[in-house]
Amino acid sequence: MNYNRMTAAEAASLIQNGEIIALSGFTPAGSPKAVTAELAKQAEEKHARGEEFRIGIITGASTGDSCDGVLTRAHAIKFRAPYTTNTDFRKAVNNGEINYTDIHLSQVAQRLRSGFLGHVTTAIVEACELTDDGRIYLTAGVGITPTIARLADRVIIELNAAHSKRIIGMHDLYEMERPPYRRPIPIVRPSDRIGLPYIQVDPQKIVGVVEVDIPDEARGFSAPDPVTDKIGQNVADFLSADMKRGIIPSTFLPLQSGVGNIANAVLSALGRDSSIPPFEMYTEVIQNSVITLIKEGRIKFGSTCSLSVTNDCLEDIYENMDFFAHKLVLRPSEISNCPEVIRRIGVISMNTAIEADIYGNVNSTHICGTKMMNGIGGSGDFTRSAYISIFSCPSTAKGGCISSIVPMVSHLDHSEHSVNVIITEQGIADLRGKSPMERAQAVIENCAHPDYKQLLWDYLKISTKGQTCHSLSAALGMHQIFLKKGDMRLTDWSEFDS
């Protein structure tokens, strides 16, 4: 089939006001970059002419600035799901301009198939190769691509020369069936392959092919500091102790690790801990630290939805594909984050909290209960089904003015029932098998910063006794004082009714 080669601007002009588009990729890895950038320019031109132009966007996870950033600044996004990390997007969501739906990432494809999210007209898919019979070979991130390529009325391909074709073969693409009576997902170890290395669509649906040469808009990482190093060491100590006690088998268990600076530092620390044997990952994002550990032989295999690595690291993978081809597999998000598989293979989940409360509830998404940060991502997919679920974070934020350990989380993403362990640079609170009061004691004693310990002990004194002790008027008092006075340390419980 001779595809219609076109410019990014021509492809963008196919998309009309009010449409819902869906994008390939997971994090900036594998996300389209050229058509969305042109779409933003065209939206600005239409707005200048007084024309309406706003669309819905559904993705696997976050994208780069050339999607969420430019389209937000062009006021072209009506609604968006799921996870994003873009600062301008975050502001527009929090000022009410964009309708944002936060969804567990494993569920996005199923919700699309079931029609919960409306009808996708256009899928924009980044590929490194396309065949005449409609085989699409993806790049560094998969996300929801198999599902959107099948469901959308039309597919636009961004054929990106910045990605090496040597990545062909690393993907294992499998789309879940619709219920009822669907068959089990036959993965029993992270390296199992169950699908195809490409997506096949009807070539007639491919309405345009845009040739580009644009690297992924990967984010760098802050260098580990003493706080993130200590958190990492505490996580490693915890896992090593559980292995010595026989809770974790001596062969170890597959690990999941979240996004961001802390996750990167935690993995580096695990890699350095010689008491932990070489291990596997069953995870949704692989960041730079995992690639280093694969090269060092500390990580044996990584199953992931994306290679969310810096561009020099991605180059390194492409250049050494003979080595990495047998060490990595890229899967759709409904498989990389599939609760069935996570529970079966015994994944240990390690995610980052914005704040945790003394009873073990975790807020991963909202600042002071109202402002969206990034979204729940895959943290819920993994936490609820994990063999052991760990949350870590620094004990304070914003120069010590915020305690990450609070009496009650200001927004709930992961409840006390799903959270097994909380770890800060101060120490480890193992919450397994503990009552709420025992959990509170462990969290305050082991995880809270010394500046906040007494305040939290005093909170328990003023709280109403019960299975879970709280003062309903003071439970969010530390947040209120931060919003009023800029420092949670100024909280005085006598200002609240007990």
Nearer Cβ to ligand 0RQ (259/313): 259
Written as six digits, the tokens of 139 are 């790049």
Stretch that binds ligand 0RQ, among 119-127, 390-398, 414-422, 434-442 (CB under 6 A): 390-398
Among 37, 98, 105, 267, binds ligand 0RQ (CB under 6 A): 105
Nearer Cβ to ligand 0RQ (201/423): 423
Q: How far apart, in Å, are the Cα atoms of 337 and each of 107, 265, 306?
A: 9, 22, 12
Stretch that binds ligand 0RQ, among 230-238, 240-248, 396-404, 443-451 (CB under 6 A): 396-404
- Give the integer Cα–Cα distance in Å for 15 and 121: 8
**Cα torsion 319, 281, 233, 441: sign:** positive
Stretch that binds ligand 0RQ, among 28-36, 146-154, 372-380, 456-464 (CB under 6 A): 372-380
- Give the integer Cα–Cα distance in Å for 409 and 480: 12
Nearer Cβ to ligand 0RQ (155/285): 285
Q: Could you say which of 38, 175, 284, 416 is catalytic?
A: 284
Stretch that binds ligand 0RQ, among 158-166, 272-280, 393-401, 490-498 (CB under 6 A): 393-401
Element (H, E) at 328: strand 328-330
> Smallest gap, in angstroms, from Cβ of residue 212 to ligand 0RQ?
24
How many secondary structure helices (H) and strands (E) does the chain include? 17, 26
Residues 173-232 that bind ligand 0RQ (CB under 6 A): none
Cα–chain-centroid distance for residue 325?
Answer: 24
Q: Is 284 designated active site?
A: yes
Residue type (1 letter), 391? F
Among 162, 194, 212, 373, binds ligand 0RQ (CB under 6 A): 373
Among 83, 238, 359, 459, binds ligand 0RQ (CB under 6 A): 83
Residue type (1 letter), 366? H
Q: Rule CB under 6 A: is residue 28 a binding residue for ligand 0RQ? A: no
Q: Rule CB under 6 A: is residue 269 a binding residue for ligand 0RQ? A: no
Q: What is the DSSP letter of 419?
A: -
Helix (H, G, I), strand (E, B) or coil at 138: strand
Q: Rule CB under 6 A: is residue 378 a binding residue for ligand 0RQ? A: yes
- Give the integer Cα–Cα distance in Å for 162 and 159: 9
Kindly give, in sequence order, each residue whose CB lies less than 8 Å from that of residue 488, ignoring residues fewer than 6 positions away: 401, 402, 403, 452, 455, 478, 479, 481, 482
Q: Rule CB under 6 A: is residue 125 a binding residue for ligand 0RQ? A: no
- Give the integer Cα–Cα distance in Å for 425 and 274: 20
Residues 274-293 that bind ligand 0RQ (CB under 6 A): 284-285
Helix (H, G, I), strand (E, B) or coil at 222: coil
Residues 335-354 that bind ligand 0RQ (CB under 6 A): 351-352, 354
Q: Rule CB under 6 A: is residue 367 a binding residue for ligand 0RQ? A: yes
Stretch that binds ligand 0RQ, among 46-54, 253-261, 455-463, 486-494 (CB under 6 A): 253-261
Q: Which residue sits closest to ligand 0RQ, CB atoms considered?
A: 377
Kindly give, in sequence order, each residue whose CB lies less than 8 Å from that of residue 108, ignoring residues fewer than 6 positions away: 58, 60, 81, 82, 117, 143, 144, 333, 334
Write down how long the chain is: 498
Written as six digits, the tokens of 188 are 């029993």
Residue type (1 letter), 189? R
Stretch that binds ligand 0RQ, among 31-39, 316-324, 377-385, 440-448 (CB under 6 A): 377-385
Q: Rule CB under 6 A: is residue 254 a binding residue for ligand 0RQ? A: no
Written as six digits, the tokens of 433 are 């098998």
Nearer Cβ to ligand 0RQ (78/414): 414
Size of the site for ligand 0RQ (CB under 6 A): 29
Helix (H, G, I), strand (E, B) or coil at 346: coil
Among 23, 347, 348, 402, binds ligand 0RQ (CB under 6 A): 402
Nearer Cβ to ligand 0RQ (147/395): 395
Show the site string, 49-68: x = touches ligand 0RQ by CB under 6 A, - = not: ------------x-------
Kindly give, in sequence order, each residue whose CB lies less than 8 Å from that of residue 390, ignoring residues fewer than 6 positions away: 235, 238, 348, 349, 350, 351, 420, 421, 422, 423
Among 262, 317, 388, 456, binds ligand 0RQ (CB under 6 A): 262
Q: Are the C-beta atoms of residues 425 and 394 closer than 8 Å to each other? A: yes
Among 28, 32, 260, 360, binds ligand 0RQ (CB under 6 A): 260
Q: Are the C-beta atoms of residues 364 and 351 closer than 8 Å to each other? A: yes
Residue type (1 letter), 453? K
Residue type (1 letter), 183? R
Show the site string, 139-178: x = touches ligand 0RQ by CB under 6 A, - = not: ----------------------------------------
What is the distance in angstroms between the CA of the first residue and the CA of the last residue of the chain?
A: 73
Q: Rule CB under 6 A: is residue 89 a binding residue for ligand 0RQ? A: no
> Smallest gap, in angstroms, from Cβ of residue 407 to ligand 0RQ?
13
Stretch that binds ligand 0RQ, among 183-191, 374-382, 426-434, 443-451 (CB under 6 A): 374-382
Kindly give, in sequence order, each residue whose CB lies less than 8 Å from that of residue 496, ignoring residues fewer than 6 positions away: 462, 471, 473, 474, 477
The residues with which 355 forms a beta bridge, in sequence order, are 363
The footprint of ligand 0RQ (CB under 6 A) covers 27, 61, 83, 105, 258-263, 284-285, 351-352, 354-355, 364, 367, 373-374, 376-379, 394, 397-398, 402, 404
Catalytic residues: 284
